[in-house]
Structure formats: structure tokens, C-alpha cells
Amino acid sequence: MPVKDSRQYRSFELSAGESDGCVVEGYATTFGDAYDMGFGYYERIDPHALDGADMSDVIFQLNHEGIVMARQSNGTLEIEVDQRGLHIRADLSGCQAGRDTVEAIKNKLITKMSWGFMVSEDGWEYDPATRTSTVTKVDKVFDVSAVSIPANPGTEIHTRSYLDGVIEAERRESAQREEQDERERICAALAIY
């Protein structure tokens, strides 16, 4: 995969569906868990690393190169930061390369994702004891990509037909857990008084 400017690239899981079966959803990055960067070094993305990051007009590609298959500015790519990571939803029906990528995802030839980003100058922390770098602040997200070989095995991509209800159910469960946690915090705070 080509390296451009001072961009960083990491990989995750992917899936496909709607708009004539050409909508894919997945996570381009996940938060919290350290993943192996090779040679005994690890990296993790802090859950607040994307707070304030420039995520305007992010594009969707295959392996961070070639034709743009979806993009925010034309409404074919949606990205959202949630509790788990950077969630994407892309309609790849607009070009043959996109439709071919959907077929590769449906056939489980491509199952992971990655993202291209720029870390803030002071956006890293390193723990020499665990040999783990933590990305704490991202300045810009350039692209999300379906990838053949991911850096972060926690990513995923699936076709929409595969995901019907799966991601929504996980998101509902996560929202319910967050609501329950908030109720418990309120109850605990009220018990103090």
C-alpha cells in the first residue's frame, strides 16, 4: 500500500448490502485494544483520539489507492465515531470498481478495513514497559479502505445483507448499556446525598 505525505494507515473489518446490494458497513478502526505493529511493538487508539479531528470529505478506497468508490461530499459515505471505533457505511454502487469490491467482500475475500490519518504533533504516548504507542490525538482522517491485509485485526467490513440487524443490534445493546451505566451513576450520586 502506498504511503502518502505523513499519513498513517491502520486496518480493520468490512461487510456489504442495499442499493442493489452494494452497501458495505464496518469499522475502519477500533478503540482501546492494542494490536501488534510488528517487531514486538504495539499500538492502540485512544477512545478520544478523534475528538475534534478533521473528518471532512473522507473517501473510500481499496488498499488506500486507485479509484475513489465513495465519498462524504456526494453522500455515498457516512462515518460516525461511536463507543467501539470509527464506523463507516458506504454505497459502492456508483462505479464498477465499487461493485467488484462488494463482490470480494460478499465472497469473504476482503474482510478487514484500514484508515489513513495524520496524528497531531503531540498526539502520541509511548509506554516502553509494554512497547505500546497510544494515538491520543488525530488531526485529519483522509480515507477509509477495504484492505487485503490489515494492521489492526479488530476491524471488519461486511455487506449490508449480511449485517441486516447485526450492527444495529450491537449498537442498540451498546446504547442500552450506556443508558444503564448512566442510570447507575445517577443512582449512586443520589445515594450520596
71: pLDDT strictly greater than 90: yes
Find residue 141's DSSP bridge partners. 117
Alpha carbons 55 and 140: distance in angstroms, whole number: 6
Cβ within 8 Å of residue 120, ≥6 positions away: 136, 137, 138, 139
Find residue 145's DSSP bridge partners. 61, 114
Torsion angles phi and psi, residue 18, rounded to 5:
-15, -155
Q: What is the pTM of this model?
A: 0.74
Per domain, the residue ranges of the chain are: 8-164
For residue 52, CA distances in Å to 11, 57, 125 come to 22, 15, 18
- Residue 79 has a pLDDT of 96
Contacts 24+ apart (CB under 8 A), 67-72: 67/95, 67/97, 69/94, 69/95, 69/97, 69/98, 69/101, 70/94, 70/98
- Residue 18 has a pLDDT of 42
**What is the pLDDT confidence band of residue 1, given thresholds at 50, 70 and 90?**
very low
- Residue 86 has a pLDDT of 96
Helix-then-strand count for the chain, H and E: 3, 14
Sheet containing 35-38: which strands, arranged edge to edge? 35-38, 41-45, 132-135, 124-127
**What is the pLDDT confidence band of residue 19, given thresholds at 50, 70 and 90?**
very low
Query: Could you tell me which of 159, 133, 154, 155 has the C-alpha nearest to residue 144?
Result: 155
161: pLDDT strictly greater than 90: no
By the 8 A CB rule, do 130 and 75 touch? no
By the 8 A CB rule, do 104 and 17 touch? no
- Cite the DSSP H helix spans in 64-143: 96-106
Find the mean pLDDT for residues 160-172: 56
